[in-house]
C-alpha cells in the first residue's frame, strides 16, 4: 500500500505493473482491497491503480465527501500525482457512479471505460430514505449491522465462507464516518442517463447474472444507451462479480483492453479466505 497527500487527505492506493494505466474504483461499502483478484492477474499487463476513496480503507476521512464529485476530484488528483494523463477507468457499482462523475468533469482523461454491476439511474425517494437510515445506523452502531445487512446482497449464497469472511473484513476495516458520508453522497447523485449517449470511448459493461442490487436489466440499459459498448454477463455471480467470477471478469477486461491474453486468469483458492 502506498500513500499520497491528496486534497488534504492521506490517500492509500495500490499501484502495480508497468503497462497502460487501469484505474479501478471500488464499490460500497468496500475499499480498493476488493480488487485484489484483478491486481494479481492484470498487473502482468497493465499498470493497475486501485485507491481507497476518502474515509475507506487506508485513506483518511478529511471531513468526507459531500458529493460523488469529491471522490472523482480526488481520483483525478491522484492521477496527477502519479503523472498519469489518461486511464482506462473501471468502476464497480458505486465505482461506476463515480466514473460517471469523473467523466462529467474530465472526459478527456479517460481512454476506455469498464462499468461493472452498476447503473445510471439516481436513487428513488425510498432509496434515499434508506440510505439516511443506514448512515445513522452506522454512526451510532458501527459497521457490523451494515455488513450483516449487505453481505447477502453482495455475494451469491454459494460463495464460500472463506471468501465471505474476506469481504466482511474489507467492510469492517472502513471508517463509519466515511461510510455514512458515502451513503449521503450516493443519495444525492444525479441521474447519469442523459450523459450516456455522449460517451465516445470504448466501453465494456459487465454484470453478474444474479446481481439483485444492480440487476442485468440495468446493465442492458447502459449497453443500449452507450454506442458500440460491449456487454458481458458473468454467469452465477451476484453483485461483486469481480470477486465471484474473477477469471471470467479478468479475461473480459483483458480482451476488451486489447491484451487478449491466452493464459488462464485464476484467483487461487476460492475457499481459503485468501485470494
Ligand atoms: C455498491 O456496491 O457500490 C452499492 O451497492 C451501490 C449502491 O448502494 O447503490
- Residue 57, ligand 1, Cβ within 6 A: no
User: pLDDT band at 265, cuts 50/70/90?
Assistant: low
- Residue 88, ligand 1, Cβ within 6 A: no
What pLDDT does 266 receive?
56
| pLDDT, average across residues 207-227 | 97
- Residue 118 CA: which ligand 1 atom is closest? 6
Q: What pLDDT, in 10s, does the model give residues 53-77?
A: 999 999 999 988 889 999 999 999 9
What pLDDT does 63 receive?
87
What pLDDT does 65 receive?
84
Q: Which residues lie across from 20 on neighbouring strands?
A: 46
Q: Which three cell numbers stand for residue 92?
A: 464497480
- Ligand 1 probe mutation, 211, 213, 219, most atoms within 8 A of CB: 213
What pLDDT does 198 receive?
97
Q: Is the pLDDT at 183 greater than 90, yes or no?
A: yes
Dihedral over alpha carbons 154, 159, 160, 166 (to 10 degrees): -20
Q: Is the pLDDT at 78 greater than 80, yes or no?
A: yes
Residue 107's contacts (CB-CB under 8 Å, 6 or more residues apart) are 201
- Ligand 1 probe mutation, 25, 26, 27, most atoms within 8 A of CB: 27
- Residue 213, ligand 1, Cβ within 6 A: yes
Q: Which three cell numbers stand for residue 71?
A: 471522490
Distance separating alpha carbons of residues 270 and 206, to the nearest angstrom:
21
Closest Cα to atom 4, ligand 1: which residue? Answer: 28
What pLDDT does 165 receive?
96
- Judging by DSSP bridges, how do beta strands 87-92 and 110-116 pair with one another? parallel
CB 200 within 8 A of CB 55: no
Amino acid at each position: 500500500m502506498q500513500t499520497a497527500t491528496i486534497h488534504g487527505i492521506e490517500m492509500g492506493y495500490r499501484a502495480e505493473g508497468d503497462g497502460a494505466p487501469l484505474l479501478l474504483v471500488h464499490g460500497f461499502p468496500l475499499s480498493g482491497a476488493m480488487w485484489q483478484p484483478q491486481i494479481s492477474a492484470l498487473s502482468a499487463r497493465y499498470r493497475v491503480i486501485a485507491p481507497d476513496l476518502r474515509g475507506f480503507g487506508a485513506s483518511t476521512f478529511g471531513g468526507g465527501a459531500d458529493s460523488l464529485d469529491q471522490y472523482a476530484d480526488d481520483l483525478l488528483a491522484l492521477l496527477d500525482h502519479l503523472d498519469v494523463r489518461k486511464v482506462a477507468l473501471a468502476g464497480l457499482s458505486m465505482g461506476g457512479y463515480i466514473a460517471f462523475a469523473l467523466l462529467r468533469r474530465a472526459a478527456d482523461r479517460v481512454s476506455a471505460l469498464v462499468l461493472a454491476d452498476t447503473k445510471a439511474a439516481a436513487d428513488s425517494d425510498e432509496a434515499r430514505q434508506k440510505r439516511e437510515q443506514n448512515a445513522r445506523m452506522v454512526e451510532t452502531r458501527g459497521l457490523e449491522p451494515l455488513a450483516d445487512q449487505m453481505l447477502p446482497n453482495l455475494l451469491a449464497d454459494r460463495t464460500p465462507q472463506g471468501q465471505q469472511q474476506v469481504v466482511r473484513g474489507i467492510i469492517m476495516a472502513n471508517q463509519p464516518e466515511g461510510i455514512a458520508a458515502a451513503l449521503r453522497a450516493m443519495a444525492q447523485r444525479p441521474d447519469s442517463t442523459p450523459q450516456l449517449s455522449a460517451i465516445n470511448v470504448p466501453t465494456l459493461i459487465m454484470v453478474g447474472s444474479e446481481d439483485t442490487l444492480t440487476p442485468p436489466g440495468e446493465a442492458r440499459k447502459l449497453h443500449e444507451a452507450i454506442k458500440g459498448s460491449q456487454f458481458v454477463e458473468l454467469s452465477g455471480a451476484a453483485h461483486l462479480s469481480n470477486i465471484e467470477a474473477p477469471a471470467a471478469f479478468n479475461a473480459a477486461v483483458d480482451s476488451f483492453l486489447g491484451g487478449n491474453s491466452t493464459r488462464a486468469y485464476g484467483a487461487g483458492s476460492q475457499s481459503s479466505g485468501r485470494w
